[in-house]
């Protein structure tokens, strides 16, 4: 089957009014809203590396969009559209039908259009998505703005996806296969959070990116980590390992002043938030458990380990 009929059959759909030209020409044309900045990111999923080989095609489609929308959310941006670069070992119609359904389910949930891409053959199934979003000029929340005394907060629960990966078939596998990008929360944090990152490689590692960029340190309260009931019944250190070093959570980790946190709580939030620590002057990450310093050696996901 020709590349073009794959695109027509599975990926061409009516677009959005501000997409002047979508799939079908050499490039897409989008009209940006006045005085907004373009926020843009790419993430690649390689079969067997970023998801288990037997992951359903629907979940792969969902996740390839969700991980990118999570990166936009982590800047406070409003998601707009995606491009899809697809490398397929074979043309499997059942797989393509389910993959595109999962991809569009995620797009529709967050009001995102597929505006272009590339389709090639290769030995390894690889899905690369580029996402575009908008933000008011100068409003993006970067990793570098944390201040001493800020709360460190996370959305939802952490460690679920890593637990799900180790216990395939457990209900928490859903969190691994169908991460929820925190698009609405990300936008609510504009003008309130001082720094933000999404948790893809484990909380400890991703938080340390904020600390490094902000040239500060932090104290993390291990007894405050928002973990699932399933993790509460296992060995404490094992549970911390899932929560701190497990990847694929796609929750938001942000820093915020106590005053701004109060303002945030006055809005309607669609996901629970937990204060898990505080930004400190001395560099490095310090762990505390029940008021006592607790030495821990945690390493997040290393792509080239
Ligand atoms: P070109 O050869 O000019 O790069 P292509 O023949 O690769 O263009 O693609 C034709 C059109 O289909 C383009 O608009 C491109 O963006 C779109 N497209 C190709 N593959 C995909 C895909 N997997 N998903 C969505 N759009 C795609
Ligand atoms: Mg061309």
pLDDT digits (tens, 9 = 90+) for 68-112: 999 999 999 999 999 999 999 999 999 999 999 999 999 999 999
- Could you tell me if the CB of 61 is within 6 A of ligand 1? no
Identify the CATH number of the domain defined by range 151-292: 3.90.650.10
Is 10 among the annotated ligand-binding positions? no
Interval 157-196: pLDDT, tens: 999 999 999 999 999 999 999 999 999 999 999 999 999 9
Distance from Cα 78 to the centre of ligand 1, integer Å: 24
Is 206 among the annotated ligand-binding positions? no
- Could you tell me if the CB of 261 is within 6 A of ligand 1? no
- Could you tell me if the CB of 118 is within 6 A of ligand 1? yes
Distance from Cα 25 to the centre of ligand 2, integer Å: 7
Angle between helices 93-109 and 57-73 (to 10 degrees): 30
pLDDT at 57 exceeding the cut of 80: yes
Cα 20-25-30 angle, rounded to 5 deg? 25
- Closest ligand 1 atom to 25 CA: 14
Secondary structure percentages of the chain, helix, strand, coil, to 5: 30, 30, 40
pLDDT (0 to 100) of residue 1: 61
Is 54 among the annotated ligand-binding positions? no
pLDDT band at 302 (very low <50, low <70, confident <90, very high): low
Query: Sheet holding 113-121: strands in order across?
Result: 36-46, 126-136, 78-88, 113-121
Segments making up each domain of the chain, as ranges? 3-136, 151-292
* CATH architecture for the domain at 3-136: 2-Layer Sandwich (3.30)
In the predicted model, what is the mean pLDDT of the chain? 95
């Amino acid at each position: 089957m020709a590349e073009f009929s794959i695109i027509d059959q599975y990926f061409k759909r009516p677009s959005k009014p501000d997409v002047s030209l979508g799939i079908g020409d050499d490039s897409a044309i989008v009209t940006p809203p006045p005085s907004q900045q373009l926020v843009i990111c790419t993430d690649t999923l390689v079969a067997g590396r970023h998801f288990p080989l037997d992951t359903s095609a629907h979940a792969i489609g969902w996740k390839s969009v969700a991980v990118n929308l999570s990166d936009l959310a982590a800047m406070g941006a409003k998601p707009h559209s995606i491009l899809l670069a697809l490398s397929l070992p074979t043309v499997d119609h059942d797989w393509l039908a389910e993959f595109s359904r999962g991809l569009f389910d995620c797009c529709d949930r967050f009001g995102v259009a597929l505006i272009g891409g590339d389709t090639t053959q290769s030995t390894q199934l690889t899905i690369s998505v580029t996402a575009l979003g908008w933000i008011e000029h100068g409003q993006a929340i970067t990793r570098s703005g944390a201040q001493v005394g800020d709360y460190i907060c996370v959305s939802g629960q952490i460690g679920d996806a890593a637990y799900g990966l180790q216990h395939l078939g457990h209900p928490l596998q859903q969190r691994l296969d169908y991460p929820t990008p925190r698009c609405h929360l990300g936008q609510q944090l504009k003008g309130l959070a001082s720094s933000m990152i999404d948790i893809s490689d484990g909380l400890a590692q991703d938080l340390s990116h904020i600390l490094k960029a902000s040239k500060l340190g932090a104290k993390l309260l291990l007894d405050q980590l928002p973990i699932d009931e399933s993790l509460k019944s296992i060995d404490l250190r094992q549970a911390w390992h899932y929560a701190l070093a497990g990847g694929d959570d796609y929750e938001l980790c942000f820093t915020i002043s106590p005053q701004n946190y109060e303002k945030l709580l006055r809005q309607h939030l669609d996901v629970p938030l937990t204060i898990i620590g505080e930004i400190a002057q001395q560099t490095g990450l310090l762990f505390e458990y029940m008021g006592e310093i607790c030495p821990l050696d945690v390493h997040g996901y290393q792509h080239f380990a």
